[in-house]
Copies of this chain bind each other. A is one copy, B any other.
Amino acid sequence: MPHLQAQLLVATGMSPKITVELLRKLRQVMKGSKYVAEPIQAYIIPSGDAHQSEYIAPCDCRREFICGFNGSAGTAIVTEQHAAMWTDGRYFLQASQQMDNNWTLMKMGLKETLSQEDWLISVLPENSKVGVDPWIIAADQWKTLAKALSSAGHSLVAVQQNLIDAIWEDRPARPSTQLSALGLKYTGLRWQDKVMQLRAKMAERKISWFVVTALDEVAWLFNLRGSDIEYNPVFFAYAIIGMNSIRLFLDEKRTADPVVRDHLVLTEPSKAELHVECLPYQRVHDELQAVCSTLGPKDKVWICDKASCALTQAIPKMHRAPIPYTPLCLAKAVKNPTEIQGMRMAHIKDAVALCELFTCRNKIKPSDKITLSLLFASSQQKDFVGLSFPTISSVGPNGAIIHYRPLPETNRTLSLTELYLIDSGAQYRDGTTDVTRTMHFGTPTDYEKECFTYVLKGHIAVSAAVFPNGTKGHLLDSFARAALWDSGLDYLHGTGHGVGCFLNVHEGPCGISYKTFADEPLEAGMILSDEPGYYEDGSFGIRLENVVLVVPTKPKYNYRNRGSLTFEPITLVPIQLKMIRSELLTQKERDWLNDYHRKCQEIIGAELERQGRKEALDWLIRETQPIM
Is residue A144 contacting chain B, with contact meaning CB distance below 8 A? no
Kindly state whether residue A445 has any CB partner on chain B within 8 Å.
no
Among A479, A488, A562, the most chain B Cβ lie within 10 Å of the Cβ of A488
In the assembled complex, A551 has its CB within 8 A of some CB on chain B: no
Per-residue contact bits, chain A 541-575, to B (CB 8 Å; 1 contact, 0 not)? 00000000000001111111010100000000000
Find out whether the CB atom of A485 lies under 8 angstroms from the CB atom of B586. no
A11 to chain B, nearest CB (A): 27
CB of A372 within 8 Å of the partner chain: no
For the complex, what is the distance from the CA of A466 to the CA of B478, rounded to whole Å? Answer: 11
Bound form: Cα–Cα A434–B212 in Å: 52
Question: A261-308: which have CB < 8 Å to B?
Answer: 298
How far, in angstroms, from A479 to B485 measured CA to CA in the complex? 13
- Cβ-defined contact, B482 with A557, below 8 A: no
Q: Nearest-CB distance from A415 to chain B (Å)?
A: 25
- Name 12 A/B residue pairs within 8 A (Cβ), A-sorted: A465-B482, A466-B488, A467-B485, A468-B485, A474-B516, A475-B478, A486-B555, A487-B556, A488-B554, A489-B557, A490-B562, A586-B586
Cα of A470 to Cα of B89 in the assembled complex, Å: 15
Whether B514 contacts A475 by the Cβ 8 Å rule is yes
Contact call A111/B470, Cβ cutoff below 8 A: yes
Task: Specify which of B151, B485, B516, B556 is in contact with A465 (CB 8 Å cutoff).
Answer: B485
Residues of B within 8 A of A476 (CB): 478
- A556/B479 in contact, CB under 8 A: no
| A465, B560: Cα distance in complex, Å | 29
Chain B residues whose CB sits within 8 angstroms of the CB of A478 once the complex forms: 467, 475-476, 478-479
Give Cα A153–Cα B296 distance, bound, in whole angstroms: 13
Query: Which interface class (under 10, 10 to 19, 20 to 34, 35 or more) fits A?
Result: 35 or more
Interface membership of A321, Cβ < 8 A: yes
- The interface bits of chain A over 186-203 (1 if a CB of B lies within 8 angstroms of the residue's CB, else 0) are 000000000000000000
Known A475-B477, A557-B488: A298·B153 in contact at CB below 8 Å: yes
The 5 closest A-B pairs by CB, nearest first: A488-B555, A516-B516, A488-B557, A487-B556, A475-B478
A514 to chain B, nearest CB (A): 6
Q: Which residues from chain A sit less than 8 Å from chain B, CB to CB?
A: 111, 151, 153, 298, 321, 465-468, 470, 474-479, 482, 485-490, 514, 516, 521, 554-560, 562, 564, 586
Closest to A451 in B: B557
User: Closest chain B residue to A319 by CB distance?
Assistant: B151
Instruction: Enumerate chain B residues within 8 angstroms of A111, measured Cβ to Cβ.
Output: 470, 521
In chain B, what residue has the closest Cβ to A467?
B485
Given contacts A466-B488, A478-B478, 9 further A-B contacts (CB under 8 A): A153-B298, A465-B482, A465-B485, A475-B477, A475-B478, A485-B564, A488-B557, A490-B559, A490-B562
A564 proximity list for chain B (CB < 8 A)? 485, 488
Residues of chain B within 8 A (CB-CB) of A482 are 465, 479
Alpha-carbon distance A465/B479, docked complex (angstroms) = 11
Please report the C-alpha to C-alpha distance between residue A22 and residue B151 in the assembled complex, in whole angstroms.
45
Q: A487 touches which one: B487, B516, B555, B562 (CB < 8 A)?
A: B555
The residue in chain B whose Cβ has the minimal distance to the Cβ of A317 is: B151
B556 touching A488 by the CB < 8 A rule?
yes
A109 closest partner in B (C-beta): B470
Q: What residues of chain B lie closer than 8 Å to A555, measured between beta carbons?
A: 485-488
Most buried by B among A467, A490, A555, A559: A559
Q: How far is the CA of A572 from the CA of B596 in the complex (A)?
A: 43
User: Which chain B residue has the least Cβ–Cβ distance from A484?
Assistant: B559
Minimum CB–CB distance from A59 to chain B (whole Å) comes to: 37
Bound form: Cα–Cα A560–B477 in Å: 20
Q: Are B321 and A489 in contact (CB under 8 A)?
A: no
Chain B positions within 8 Å of A465 at CB level: 482, 485
Is B151 a contact of A559 with CB atoms below 8 Å? no
Closest to A320 in B: B151
A558–B488 CB distance below 8 A = yes
Give chain B residues whose Cβ lies under 8 Å from the Cβ of A554: 488
Nearest residue, chain B, Cβ from A321: B151
* Chain B positions within 8 Å of A521 at CB level: 111
Contact of B466 with A486 in the complex, beta carbons under 8 Å: yes
Contact check, A488 vs B559: say whether CB atoms are below 8 A apart: yes
Contacting residue for A489 out of B470, B488, B489, B559, CB 8 A: B559
Shortest Cβ distance from A311 into chain B, in angstroms?
A: 19
Rounded to whole Å, the gap between the CB of A148 and the closest CB of chain B is 11
Specify which chain B residues have a CB less than 8 angstroms from the CB of A298 in the assembled complex. Answer: 153
A557 to B539, CA, bound (A): 15
Distance of A328 from chain B, by nearest CB (Å)? 21
Residues of B within 8 A of A151 (CB): 321
* Chain B nearest Cβ from A592, distance in angstroms: 13
Give the complex CA separation of A466 and B475 in angstroms.
17
Docked complex Cα distance between A488 and B560 (Å): 10
CB distance from A455 to the nearest CB of B (A): 13
Please give the distance in Å from A496's CB to the nearest CB on chain B: 14
A474 to B490, CA, bound (A): 17
Chain B residues near A467 (CB-CB < 8 A):
478, 485
* Residues of the B chain whose Cβ atoms lie less than 8 Å from the Cβ of A485: 465-468, 555, 564
Q: How far is the CA of A562 from the CA of B490 in the complex (A)?
A: 10
Closest to A476 in B: B478
Residues of B within 8 A of A559 (CB): 488-490
Chain B residues near A470 (CB-CB < 8 A): 111
Asked whether, in the complex, the Cβ of B487 is within 8 Å of the Cβ of A557, the reply is: yes
CB distance from A330 to the nearest CB of B (A): 14
Q: How far is A466 from B564 in the complex, measured between Cα atoms in Å?
A: 28
| Cβ contacts under 8 Å, A514 to chain B | 475
Which chain B residues border A489 with CB–CB below 8 Å? 557, 559
Q: Which residues does chain B contribute within 8 Å of A321, judged by CB atoms? A: 151
A559 to B491, CA, bound (A): 9
Q: Which residue of B lies closest to A514 (CB)?
A: B475
The minimal Cβ–Cβ distance linking A144 to chain B, given in whole angstroms, is 14
Please indicate the chain B residues that have their CB under 8 angstroms from the CB of A477 in the complex: 475
